[in-house]
Amino acid sequence: MLHGKRILLNAGPTREFLDPVRYLSNGSSGKMGYALAQAAKAMGAKVSLVSGPVALDPPEGVETVPVVTGQEMYEAMLGFLDHADWVIGCAAVADLAPVSCGEQKIKIDKETGKLVVELHPTRDIIASLASQRRDGQIFIGFAAETQNVAANAKGKLIRKGLDYIVANDVSQPHLGMNADHNAVQLYGHRGPFASLGPALKDQIAKDILSTIARSIEK
Protein backbone atom coordinates (compact mmCIF):
# COMPACT_ATOMS: atom_id res chain seq x y z
CA MET A 1 0.00 0.00 0.00
CA LEU A 2 2.95 2.33 0.63
CA HIS A 3 5.23 0.82 -1.98
CA GLY A 4 7.77 3.37 -3.18
CA LYS A 5 6.75 6.03 -0.64
CA ARG A 6 9.46 7.74 1.39
CA ILE A 7 8.36 8.23 4.96
CA LEU A 8 10.14 10.38 7.53
CA LEU A 9 9.11 10.16 11.15
CA ASN A 10 10.34 10.85 14.65
CA ALA A 11 9.79 8.92 17.87
CA GLY A 12 10.53 8.89 21.56
CA PRO A 13 11.28 11.73 23.97
CA THR A 14 13.83 14.51 23.76
CA ARG A 15 15.98 15.82 26.59
CA GLU A 16 16.66 19.48 27.35
CA PHE A 17 19.60 19.93 29.70
CA LEU A 18 19.73 22.13 32.78
CA ASP A 19 23.32 21.13 33.57
CA PRO A 20 25.56 18.13 32.78
CA VAL A 21 23.47 15.76 34.95
CA ARG A 22 19.89 17.12 34.90
CA TYR A 23 17.42 17.48 32.06
CA LEU A 24 13.74 18.00 31.28
CA SER A 25 12.01 15.14 29.45
CA ASN A 26 8.88 12.98 29.57
CA GLY A 27 7.75 9.38 29.82
CA SER A 28 7.58 8.53 26.12
CA SER A 29 8.89 5.05 25.35
CA GLY A 30 8.99 5.51 21.56
CA LYS A 31 6.93 2.35 21.07
CA MET A 32 4.25 3.98 18.88
CA GLY A 33 6.78 5.67 16.59
CA TYR A 34 8.87 2.50 16.26
CA ALA A 35 5.74 0.50 15.48
CA LEU A 36 4.85 3.00 12.75
CA ALA A 37 8.35 2.78 11.28
CA GLN A 38 8.24 -1.02 11.20
CA ALA A 39 4.72 -1.08 9.75
CA ALA A 40 5.59 1.45 7.04
CA LYS A 41 8.62 -0.63 6.08
CA ALA A 42 6.50 -3.79 5.90
CA MET A 43 4.01 -1.94 3.67
CA GLY A 44 6.73 -1.16 1.12
CA ALA A 45 7.93 2.30 2.13
CA LYS A 46 11.47 3.52 2.48
CA VAL A 47 11.59 4.77 6.06
CA SER A 48 13.84 7.23 7.88
CA LEU A 49 13.38 7.33 11.65
CA VAL A 50 14.82 10.08 13.86
CA SER A 51 14.70 8.81 17.41
CA GLY A 52 15.16 10.35 20.82
CA PRO A 53 16.67 8.28 23.67
CA VAL A 54 14.72 5.01 24.01
CA ALA A 55 15.35 1.45 25.19
CA LEU A 56 14.27 -0.10 21.88
CA ASP A 57 16.19 -1.84 19.12
CA PRO A 58 16.13 0.02 15.78
CA PRO A 59 13.44 -1.39 13.46
CA GLU A 60 14.89 -3.83 10.95
CA GLY A 61 15.51 -2.28 7.54
CA VAL A 62 14.80 1.25 8.74
CA GLU A 63 17.39 4.02 8.55
CA THR A 64 17.51 5.18 12.18
CA VAL A 65 19.22 8.35 13.37
CA PRO A 66 19.63 8.70 17.17
CA VAL A 67 19.40 12.19 18.67
CA VAL A 68 18.98 13.64 22.16
CA THR A 69 17.71 17.23 22.10
CA GLY A 70 14.83 18.78 20.22
CA GLN A 71 17.18 20.90 18.13
CA GLU A 72 19.13 17.80 17.12
CA MET A 73 15.88 16.09 16.17
CA TYR A 74 14.76 19.05 14.06
CA GLU A 75 18.09 19.31 12.23
CA ALA A 76 18.18 15.58 11.51
CA MET A 77 14.63 15.61 10.12
CA LEU A 78 15.33 18.72 8.07
CA GLY A 79 18.09 16.80 6.31
CA PHE A 80 15.55 14.25 5.05
CA LEU A 81 12.65 16.62 4.41
CA ASP A 82 13.06 17.38 0.71
CA HIS A 83 12.89 13.69 -0.25
CA ALA A 84 10.01 12.66 2.04
CA ASP A 85 6.50 11.95 0.76
CA TRP A 86 4.98 11.60 4.23
CA VAL A 87 6.27 13.27 7.39
CA ILE A 88 4.99 11.89 10.69
CA GLY A 89 5.57 13.69 13.97
CA CYS A 90 5.13 11.00 16.61
CA ALA A 91 7.86 12.05 19.05
CA ALA A 92 7.04 13.53 22.45
CA VAL A 93 9.31 16.54 22.07
CA ALA A 94 9.99 18.39 25.33
CA ASP A 95 7.86 21.54 25.25
CA LEU A 96 10.18 23.61 27.43
CA ALA A 97 13.93 23.98 27.78
CA PRO A 98 16.17 25.85 30.24
CA VAL A 99 17.25 29.24 28.93
CA SER A 100 20.85 28.26 29.66
CA CYS A 101 22.71 25.06 30.48
CA GLY A 102 25.22 25.19 33.33
CA GLU A 103 28.72 23.96 32.59
CA GLN A 104 28.82 22.38 36.06
CA LYS A 105 26.11 20.82 38.22
CA ILE A 106 23.96 23.65 39.54
CA LYS A 107 23.68 23.72 43.33
CA ILE A 108 20.44 24.24 45.20
CA ASP A 109 20.31 27.45 47.26
CA LYS A 110 21.28 26.43 50.80
CA GLU A 111 19.19 29.14 52.44
CA THR A 112 15.91 28.59 50.58
CA GLY A 113 16.34 24.97 49.53
CA LYS A 114 15.09 25.96 46.10
CA LEU A 115 16.38 25.89 42.57
CA VAL A 116 14.79 28.43 40.25
CA VAL A 117 15.02 27.64 36.55
CA GLU A 118 14.05 29.97 33.70
CA LEU A 119 12.46 28.11 30.79
CA HIS A 120 11.54 28.93 27.21
CA PRO A 121 9.34 27.11 24.68
CA THR A 122 11.14 24.74 22.34
CA ARG A 123 10.68 24.56 18.57
CA ASP A 124 7.50 22.87 17.37
CA ILE A 125 9.23 20.42 15.05
CA ILE A 126 6.32 19.11 12.99
CA ALA A 127 4.87 22.61 12.55
CA SER A 128 8.27 23.98 11.51
CA LEU A 129 8.72 21.22 8.95
CA ALA A 130 5.15 21.62 7.65
CA SER A 131 5.81 25.32 7.05
CA GLN A 132 8.57 24.27 4.64
CA ARG A 133 6.53 21.69 2.75
CA ARG A 134 6.78 21.12 -0.96
CA ASP A 135 3.81 20.27 -3.16
CA GLY A 136 2.46 16.78 -2.63
CA GLN A 137 3.89 16.16 0.83
CA ILE A 138 1.59 14.80 3.55
CA PHE A 139 2.09 15.85 7.17
CA ILE A 140 0.72 13.81 10.05
CA GLY A 141 0.94 14.79 13.70
CA PHE A 142 0.12 13.21 17.04
CA ALA A 143 -1.76 14.81 19.91
CA ALA A 144 -1.28 13.11 23.28
CA GLU A 145 -3.88 14.73 25.54
CA THR A 146 -5.34 14.26 29.01
CA GLN A 147 -8.47 16.40 28.58
CA ASN A 148 -10.55 17.99 25.81
CA VAL A 149 -8.90 15.51 23.45
CA ALA A 150 -10.99 16.22 20.35
CA ALA A 151 -10.88 20.01 20.67
CA ASN A 152 -7.15 20.09 21.37
CA ALA A 153 -6.39 17.74 18.50
CA LYS A 154 -8.46 19.72 16.01
CA GLY A 155 -6.77 22.93 17.13
CA LYS A 156 -3.33 21.43 16.60
CA LEU A 157 -4.32 20.11 13.17
CA ILE A 158 -5.07 23.65 11.98
CA ARG A 159 -2.43 25.55 13.94
CA LYS A 160 0.44 23.31 12.90
CA GLY A 161 -0.55 23.18 9.22
CA LEU A 162 -1.05 19.39 9.13
CA ASP A 163 -3.10 17.16 6.86
CA TYR A 164 -3.99 14.60 9.54
CA ILE A 165 -3.64 14.25 13.27
CA VAL A 166 -3.78 11.18 15.49
CA ALA A 167 -5.25 11.91 18.92
CA ASN A 168 -5.03 9.73 21.98
CA ASP A 169 -6.08 10.17 25.60
CA VAL A 170 -2.95 9.31 27.57
CA SER A 171 -4.80 9.62 30.88
CA GLN A 172 -6.44 6.25 30.24
CA PRO A 173 -4.76 3.39 32.14
CA HIS A 174 -2.68 0.99 30.07
CA LEU A 175 -3.08 3.07 26.90
CA GLY A 176 -0.81 5.58 25.21
CA MET A 177 2.51 6.77 26.58
CA ASN A 178 4.89 3.99 27.68
CA ALA A 179 2.20 1.31 27.22
CA ASP A 180 2.02 -1.59 24.77
CA HIS A 181 -1.56 -0.80 23.74
CA ASN A 182 -3.18 2.31 22.33
CA ALA A 183 -6.54 3.66 21.18
CA VAL A 184 -6.66 6.65 18.86
CA GLN A 185 -8.93 8.93 16.85
CA LEU A 186 -7.91 10.14 13.40
CA TYR A 187 -8.85 13.65 12.29
CA GLY A 188 -8.52 15.38 8.94
CA HIS A 189 -9.77 18.71 7.69
CA ARG A 190 -13.19 17.17 6.99
CA GLY A 191 -13.46 16.05 10.60
CA PRO A 192 -12.99 12.72 12.42
CA PHE A 193 -12.91 9.73 10.13
CA ALA A 194 -11.62 6.76 12.12
CA SER A 195 -11.54 5.33 15.62
CA LEU A 196 -8.87 2.68 16.11
CA GLY A 197 -8.27 0.34 19.02
CA PRO A 198 -7.79 -0.47 21.78
CA ALA A 199 -5.15 -2.78 20.34
CA LEU A 200 -1.44 -3.45 20.46
CA LYS A 201 0.57 -0.56 19.05
CA ASP A 202 1.83 -2.75 16.20
CA GLN A 203 -1.76 -3.17 15.01
CA ILE A 204 -2.66 0.47 15.65
CA ALA A 205 0.34 1.51 13.53
CA LYS A 206 -0.79 -0.63 10.58
CA ASP A 207 -4.34 0.69 10.89
CA ILE A 208 -3.22 4.35 11.04
CA LEU A 209 -1.08 4.03 7.92
CA SER A 210 -3.60 2.05 5.89
CA THR A 211 -6.51 4.32 6.88
CA ILE A 212 -4.64 7.47 5.91
CA ALA A 213 -3.41 5.90 2.67
CA ARG A 214 -6.99 5.02 1.69
CA SER A 215 -8.15 8.53 2.57
CA ILE A 216 -5.49 10.07 0.33
CA GLU A 217 -6.43 7.81 -2.57
CA LYS A 218 -10.10 8.88 -2.51
In 3-state terms, what secondary structure has residue 218? coil
The 8-class DSSP code of residue 13 comes to: B
> Which helix (DSSP H) or strand (DSSP E) does residue 204 occupy?
helix 201-217
Give helix 201-217 / helix 31-42 axis angle, nearest 10°: 50
Specify whether 152 is catalytic: no
pLDDT at 36 over 90: yes
pLDDT confidence of residue 31: 97
pLDDT confidence of residue 115: 86
Check: CB of residue 149 under 8 Å from CB of residue 169.
yes
Please state the pTM of the whole predicted model: 0.94
Q: Where do the domains of the chain lie?
A: 6-96+118-217
Q: What is the pLDDT of residues 143-187, one digit of tens each?
A: 988 899 999 999 999 999 999 999 998 888 888 788 899 999 999
User: Active site residue: 26, 152, 168, 178, which one?
Assistant: 26
CATH number for 6-96+118-217 (one of 3.40.50.261, 3.40.50.2300, 3.40.50.10300, 1.10.10.10): it is 3.40.50.10300
pLDDT confidence of residue 146: 87
Transcribe 28-49 into DSSP letters: --SHHHHHHHHHHHHTT-EEEE
Provide CB contacts within 8 A for 32, sequence distance 6+: 11, 90, 142, 182, 201, 204, 205
* 129 closest CA partner among 71, 190, 187, 74: 74
Q: What is the pLDDT of residues 87-130, one digit of tens each?
A: 999 999 999 999 999 899 998 888 888 888 999 999 999 999 99
pLDDT confidence of residue 166: 97
